[in-house]
Chain A
Amino acid sequence: MKKMRWYAKTYVGAVMAFFYLPIAVLILYSFNESKSRSYFTGFTLHWYKSLFTNELIIRSLWNTLFIAFASAVLATIIGTAAAIGLSRMHKAAKSLILGFTYLPMINPEIVTGVSLMLLFVSLQGLLEAIGAAPFSFGFATLILAHVTFNIPYVILNVMPKLRQVDNSIYEAAQDLGCAPLQAFTKVVVPDIMPGIVAGFLTSITMSVDDFVISYFVSGPTSQTLPVTIFSMMRRKVSPEVNALSTILFIVVLTVLLLVNMADARREKAMNKRMGANSVG
């Protein structure tokens, strides 16, 4: 089973072609001279140039990255703390809370978005009623919303790692004279660090690509990139959108390639150390 048979190869190839066909088209037409989506009239880079001077898109990209980073940090902190707290709870309380944790994940995004919108609007009404200064949809609402849907991913990434942590090492550290908190940070946290980092990266990913929830809770000053792209698509289309896709594609490709190479190098080092066959 080590070598792939020809039909397996063709199948994989066909699916990959299906995946990449639209992307190839997007990239191709980003170099199109005219605005037409169907006729390729000539090669030009001027859409890329106009993209870099498009203030709205740059600002949206900025907003997106900022919100992704901020919400991922918050979500990781709250989520990790929650996972640790949850792992020490009695089964009943734990399953109840975990049940609610999974809710935003299996709930359709549109319902989450709508519910958060209603929450913020009601909050606005409440603040107005008691005479306090009202807030407007913007960065605050976006970050709160993003943290809300990111925390479950952090918890789901950290909890399995916590379960694998050997309690005896924690106790051994304490027996050797560490205070509980020190034992915790020096022994347990490094152990679960892969889970924490995975949760953090997952949060950033989910945040950057989120459209539906951001659509419902964003304001005019804090549009994220997907929301901006959506409003661009509803109008006269400009190949600037294609140029943007191409740039995104290259960035993501680069990141994934780098991660891949790092993984490969690590696996080779591990194999050398173990000296055994690697599991496929």
Chain B
Amino acid sequence: MKNEAVIRRSGATQVLALPYVAWMCIFIIVPLALVAYFAFTTSEGAWTLDNVSRVGEFSPILIRSVWLAAVSTVICLVVGYPLAYIISRATGSRQRTMVMLIMLPMWMNFLLRTYAWMTLLEKNGIINRLLGMAGLGPLQMINTPGAVVLGMVYNYLPFMLLPLYSIMTKIDNTTLEAAQDLGANWRQIFTGILLPLSAPGIKTGVTMVFVPAVSTFIISRMLGGGGQLLIGDLIDLQFLGNAYNPNLGSAISLVLMVIILLCMSIFNQFGSEEEMEGILL
């Protein structure tokens, strides 16, 4: 009863949210509606399903993007999970230092980090030259799908690490120790305690890696050679690139958005929105 009284009394404070609601309508909802509008019209403004059906032609690109993004996400998860666990178990200053070291590359410009990999992976790049000194032949590393995956993992691993780390710090050591005292082995602790408790973190981490990975367009251009387009490249091509067609570009964007929303809602069975907030802090 008391809460209701508080709510009614501060009914006025609800109005504080109005500027945001207005902003949201103008800058989030209307633009997306515009994308939908452009997707379903021709350049003269007539209604058509042509653009959306043409997206079907690009299914190889869609599949490829989803596949590479999925591979990158899985690698990030596999590499990041143990790391998050180790860091969360570390003590005070060491933990702080490690978190800082992880965050540091994240603050550096994403383009520059990707560019640095070009230097390393080129035929006359540093890695190949070192291999050459050891007598091993030059490897074709750049301009391959592997290089693109490497670039994605490199850029998005911190986004997997931070949610995982955040949620693992909330798992108390005593819980794990108690389980050990009760005779559980590592596998049981992992599947029975660690995994379920860190599930919200996994969910957030996967979201934060998969979504940018599937829609990236710089990494594929710099490390992939430009001959294997991904969805992001395709969209960029239609708006600011060599094949100006905003209608088709909007259609592709729409399909991309729908695919991602579907993936997310399927994945959503693991948690609620409140958990997502806490993890991002």
Check if A and B associate.
yes
Q: List the interface of chain A (C-beta within 8 A of B).
A: 1-2, 4, 8, 11-12, 15-16, 18-23, 25-26, 29, 37-38, 78-79, 81-82, 84-86, 88-89, 95, 97-98, 100-104, 106-112, 114-119, 122, 144-145, 147-148, 151, 153, 155-157, 159-160, 167, 170-171, 180, 198, 205, 209, 211-212, 215-216, 225-226, 229-230, 233, 241, 244-245, 248-249, 252-253, 256-257, 259-260, 263-264, 267, 278, 280
The CA-CA distance from A241 to B108 in the complex, in Å, is: 12
A84:B16 contact, CB within 8 angstroms: yes
- Contacts of B97-125 to chain A: CB distance below 8 A: 97-98, 100-105, 107-113, 115-120, 122, 124-125
User: Is A106 a contact of B281 with CB atoms below 8 Å?
Assistant: no
Distance, CA A84 to CA B86, complexed state (A) = 37
Q: In the complex the two chains form, what is the Cα distance from A241 to B82 in whole Å? A: 34
Interchain CB contact under 8 A, B104 and A256: yes
CB contacts (< 8 Å) of A241 on chain B: these are 112, 115
* Contact A100 B28, CB 8 Å, known A38-B126, A85-B20: yes
Given contacts A19-B105, A280-B91, contact A81 B19 (CB under 8 A): yes
- Judge whether B235 and A100 touch: CB under 8 Å: no
Closest to A2 in B: B91
Can you add 13 more A-B contacts, CB < 8 Å, to A110-B217, A216-B239? A4-B89, A23-B113, A97-B20, A100-B24, A109-B212, A110-B236, A114-B253, A116-B27, A160-B274, A160-B281, A170-B6, A256-B104, A263-B96
Tell me the nearest residue of chain A to B21, going by C-beta: A97
Q: Are A157 and B281 in contact (CB under 8 A)?
A: yes
Interface flag for B90 (CB, 8 Å)? yes
When the two chains form their complex, are residues A156 and B280 in contact, meaning their CB atoms are under 8 A apart?
yes
Interfacial chain A residues near B17, Cβ < 8 Å: 81-82, 84-86, 89, 97
Q: Which of B32-40, B54-62, B186-194 contacts A (4 or more CB under 8 A)?
A: B32-40
Report yes or no: A108 in contact with B212, Cβ–Cβ below 8 A.
Answer: yes
Residue B126 contacts which of A25, A115, A148, A252 (CB distance < 8 angstroms)?
A25
Residues of A with C-beta under 8 A to B108:
23, 245, 248-249, 252
Residues on B with beta carbons closer than 8 Å to the beta carbon of A95: 273
**Given A37-B125, A84-B13, A252-B104, A106 and B211 contact (CB-CB distance below 8 Å):** yes
B6 touches A180 (CB 8 A): no
Asked, given contacts A26-B112, A37-B125, A115-B253, whether A89 binds B28 with beta carbons under 8 Å apart, the answer is no
The closest CB in chain A to the CB of B94 belongs to A4
Smallest beta-carbon distance B26→chain A, Å = 8
Checking A22, A29, A78, A88 against B113 with a beta-carbon cut-off of 8 angstroms, the contacting residue is: A22
Closest 7 A/B residue pairs (Cβ): A85-B17, A108-B215, A22-B116, A82-B20, A115-B31, A85-B16, A81-B16
A230 near B218: Cβ-Cβ < 8 Å? yes
CA–CA, A95 to B273, complex, Å?
A: 9
User: With A4-B86, A23-B108 in contact, is A167–B3 under 8 Å at CB?
Assistant: yes
B11 close to chain A: CB less than 8 A: yes
Closest CB-CB distance, A67 to chain B, in whole Å? Answer: 15
Candidates A88, A119, A278; contact of B92 at CB < 8 Å: A278
**In the complex, B249 has a CB within 8 A of chain A:** yes
Q: Which residues of A contact B278 (CB under 8 A)?
A: 160
Contact of A108 among B26, B176, B256 (CB under 8 A): B256
Question: Are A225 and B86 within 8 A (Cβ)?
Answer: no
- Asked if B7 is an interface residue, CB under 8 A from chain A, the answer is yes
Q: Is the pair A78, B122 in contact by a Cβ cutoff of 8 Å?
A: no
What would be 6 A-B contacts, judged by CB atoms less than 8 Å apart?
Answer: A81-B17, A111-B257, A118-B246, A216-B240, A225-B109, A229-B112
B202-248, CB < 8 A from A: 207, 211-212, 214-215, 217-218, 222, 232, 235-236, 239-240, 246
User: In the complex, A226→B218 CA distance in Å?
Assistant: 12
- Nearest B-chain residue to A8, judged by Cβ: B86
Say whether B48 faces chain A, with CB atoms less than 8 Å apart.
Answer: no
CA gap between A257 and B107 in the complex, in Å: 13
How far is B87's CA from A253's CA once the two chains are assembled, in angstroms? 20
- Does any Cβ of A come within 8 Å of B131's Cβ? no
Contact A209 B109 (CB under 8 A): yes
**Chain A residues near B236 (CB-CB < 8 A):** 110
- Tell me whether B83 is interfacial, beta carbon within 8 Å: yes
Contact of B87 with A256 in the complex, beta carbons under 8 Å: no
- With an 8 A cutoff between CB atoms, is B260 at the interface? yes
Among residues of A, the one whose C-beta sits closest to the C-beta of B176 is A1
Check if B64 is an interface residue, CB within 8 A of chain A: no
- Find out whether the CB atom of A81 lies under 8 angstroms from the CB atom of B119: no
Q: How far is the CA of A79 from the CA of B23 in the complex (A)?
A: 10
Nearest residue (CB) in A for B234 is: A110
Contact with A82, one of B19, B103, B173 (Cβ below 8 angstroms): B19
Inter-chain contact B154/A18, CB cutoff 8 Å: yes
How long is the Cα–Cα vector from A157 to B281 in the complex, in angstroms? 6
Contacts of B103 in A (CB 8 A): 256
Q: Is the CB of A106 within 8 A of B215?
A: no
Closest residue of chain B to A18 (Cβ to Cβ) is B154
Judged by a CB distance under 8 angstroms, whether B18 is at the interface is yes
Q: A252-B107, A263-B96 are in contact. Are A29 and B119 (CB under 8 A)?
A: yes
